Amino acid sequence: MKFLRLAFYLLCLLIPFENTALRSVAGVFTAPGAIILIPVFLLIAVINFKHIGSYEKKTIIYFLTFFTYSLFVSLFFSFDYNYTFVLDRGVRFLLLILPPVVVFLAVLRQKEEVTNFGVFLIAFVCLLSLVVNLTLPDIVNTQSFIQFRSALSPHRLRGFTLEASTFGFQITLSLLMLFIVLNIKVFYVIPLLFILASITVSKGTLIALFLSFSFCLTFAVRPKAKPVIFAFVACALPLLFSNSFYAMFASDIENYSSVATRGTMFFTSLIILFKYPFGTGFFGYLPAIYENGFNAISLYHKVFPERMNFNEVMSYFVVGATEGISTKTFFFDWLIFAGLPFLFLFFRFHFQLFRIFSRHRKYNEIICLSFLSISLMTFVPIEGRYIAPFAYAFLFMRSQSYLEFDVNENIVQKSKFKSLRVVW
């Protein structure tokens, strides 16, 4: 038992390291430092399969069912593409998805106090990486064991991750979880979170954070508290709508291809959803992108006629290309993989958690859930970002504890009512 707990704590310490020298072994799959512990937890799950909980069994059943569906769909792509290529790439996608699932299940198996200490460890390493990046930038900007390659933009903070956008997501999410554990009202530290997000120069993090607070303010917070909280949120507006912030976007559009790539892949995923409502599975992901990518560029031009740099994304649509091809977000990747069933399960899961947190007025959890989901829908892929499945499992465990509290309260109320009836 102590070994399992120590293994879990070691996993938490390694989660922030997303771009280690292990990337040279098998690319993105082995880049996270925590990958060395995935076989351990996978083996534990197999050995203790008979003793795992119902939610864990459901997760495994969903995953195996989808894998079977993927194999079936692959047959339809075998006529137009080399079947060996289709199977090879599909298995690679399967291997990329497997570690986040293992991390999610590993967290679910922990007791609350163990998971809470894991949050402390993750937040500590993330804050440490921030301090190191600010004081000794060469440690994280040059190639070493903790960084597979030198920083492309040394002026932007990247911590122990690949780039600024993922670092901004990582440190913000870790602090949001930490505030939940410490029971610190997030509304009191809004300026700190926005300052940290600004330091990382991650536009996606800033926008996701602002939208998360706005969502909580609009749908969850009591009317009496809204004016005070709105004053804090309004402090971020000058930053978000400043000329410098718009200048960063303009620079990206003119000098880089990230905006064009993400926009094109957004339209590509929608076109694929229309053609394959139940998804392409793991094995049909690349063929579907090859077939619909250029149509997505045409659609993008019609909706946004501005001049864009499509050099990167056009290379994705060459049959046989594999390097770096994705929608750059978890949500739209899985919209291609699993289509409408994923769409239903994704929003159903988030709605259930939001309803529980809202009923118990757990605003910290609502903001954390909102930030996590908005980030994964807009600029963060889940492969290698083990902090995302960790956070989902952490929030799910919190929701179940609140449900258990409701059940106990109902039992107490019913027992009191019966006692009154007896006395009467």
The tokens describing 22, both together, are 């292990």
Whether 248 is in a domain gets the answer: no
Say yes or no to pLDDT of 78 above 60: yes
- How many other β-carbons are positioned within 10 Å of the β-carbon of residue 255? 9
What is each CA distance from 158 to 13, 130, 136, 154, 169, in whole angstroms? 17, 8, 12, 8, 10
Question: Would 271 be classed as within a structural domain?
Answer: no
325 assigned to some structural domain: no
Exposure string for 342-367, b = 16+ CB within 10 A, e = fewer: bbeebeeebeebbebbbebebbbbbb
* Distance in angstroms (rounded) separating the CA atoms of residues 341 and 337: 10
- Which of 350, 361, 364, 359 lies closest to 396, judged by CA? 350
Place of tokens 């769409």: 343
Residue type, 238: P
pLDDT at 236 over 60: no
- CA–CA dist 95, 152 (Å, integer): 27
**pLDDT 10s digits, 48-77:** 777 777 777 888 888 889 999 999 998 888
Please, which residues have CB within 8 angstroms of residue 261's CB and are 6 or more apart in sequence?
310, 312, 313, 328
- Overall residue count recorded for the chain in this entry: 424
Confirm whether 256 is domain-assigned.
no
pLDDT tens digit sequence for 159-206: 999 888 899 999 999 999 999 999 988 777 888 888 888 888 788 899
Q: Distances from the Cα of 28 to the Cαs of 104, 110, 148, 395, in angstroms?
A: 19, 27, 11, 26
Provide the residue type at 411 as one letter.
Answer: I
Whether the CB-CB separation of 125 and 16 falls below 8 Å is answered with yes
Could you give the CA distance from residue 263 to residue 270 in angstroms, rounded to a whole number? 11
Q: Does the residue 286 lie in any domain?
A: no
Decide if 336 is inside a domain: no
* Better-scored residue on pLDDT, 187 or 351: 351
Q: Is residue 184 part of a domain?
A: yes
Domain hosting 50: range is 2-242+363-416
- pTM for the full predicted model: 0.90
pLDDT at 397: 94
Structural domain includes residue 343: no
Alpha carbon distance 88, 98 (integer Å): 16
How far apart (Å, rounded) are the C-alpha atoms in residues 288 and 331?
Answer: 17
pLDDT above 80: residue 416:
no
Total domains, the chain: 1
Listed residue (134, 154, 135, 129) closest to 143, CA to CA: 154
